[in-house]
Amino acid sequence: MDKIIILGGGGHARVLIDLVRLSGTYKIAGILDPQFDPGTMISGIPVLGNDDMLPELVTSGIINACIGTGSVKDTLIRKSLYDKSKAAGLSVPPLIHPRAVVSENSKIAAGAQIMANAVVQTDSMIGENTIINTGAIIEHDCCIGTNVHICPAAVISGVCRIDEGSFIGAGATVINGINIGKNVTIAAGSVVITDVADGVTLKGVPAK
């Protein structure tokens, strides 16, 4: 199996470790995270150092990375790590949990992560470095942009568009045909029934 390095050692990284092990596609070479001392073990995987090691790891023959940092409202850290990995010459492949349901007619871009029990229905597009988290549903004909986080149990109904950098909180619902702009935050449990402009934060039922 090809080796893969994980950037980040927190909760999202531990979930990804399980995903990678279950999928059997890659061997995890280690974790990069400046918050942990080298040699620290996280779910049986050693911390090697921080992300300054990326060029050294590429030279050693590691060609794959995955972004193990989640996001709470702010997706910029994930974007920074993704861009840094690509600049170092690493491939950031999409990761799909074996218990996710993804239509063969949907497109999953580089760096996207589809977690356990998530559903991506037909003719949808999931952008680069986007998380479709545990149990989230993306219905048919949706376009989810880059660096988006769809949190656990969120429901994106059919023919919706969610642009770059937006954050859809846990258990939120976006009704059919809605367009959500860039860098939007939708609070957990909200119900979005109208289009949302760039940079807006909404909460409530309906979301305001």
Residue-wise pLDDT tens digits, 115-156: 999 999 999 999 999 999 999 999 999 999 999 999 999 999
Q: Are residues 104 and 136 in the same domain?
A: yes
Split into its structural domains, the chain has a count of: 2
Query: Does residue 160 sit in the same domain as residue 176?
Result: yes
Question: Using CA atoms, how far apart are residues 131 and 138, in angstroms rounded to an integer?
Answer: 11
Which pLDDT does position 72 carry in this prediction?
73
State which of 56, 87, 118 marks the end of a domain.
87
Instruction: State the chain's maximal CA–CA distance in angstroms.
Output: 52
Residue 150 placed within a domain? yes
State yes or no: is 97 an active-site residue.
no
Is 157 within the bounds of a domain? Answer: yes
Same domain, 83 and 105: no
26 and 65 share a domain?
yes
Considering 70, 87, 104, which residue would you say is the last residue of a domain?
87
- The model's pTM is 0.96
Does a structural domain hold residue 208?
A: no
Quote the domain boundaries for residue 23: 2-87
Q: What is the pLDDT of residues 28-61, one digit of tens each?
A: 999 999 999 999 999 999 999 998 999 999 999 9
Same domain, 21 and 39: yes
Nearest 10 degrees: CA dihedral of 39, 72, 166, 49?
Answer: -10
Count the helix, strand and coil residues of the chain and give each as a percent rounded to the nearest 5.
Answer: 15, 30, 55
Cα angle 126, 131, 87; round to 5 = 85
Kindly report the CATH number assigned to the domain that includes residue 67.
3.40.50.20
66 vs 31: CA distance, rounded Å = 10
Catalytic residue among 12, 97, 140, 149: 140
How buried is residue 190: exposed, middle or buried, by Cβ count under 10 Å (0-12/13-18/19+)?
buried
Task: Name the domain boundary from 54, 87, 120.
Answer: 87
CB 164 within 8 A of CB 181: no
Average pLDDT over all residues of the chain: 96
H or E segment to which residue 11 belongs: helix 11-23
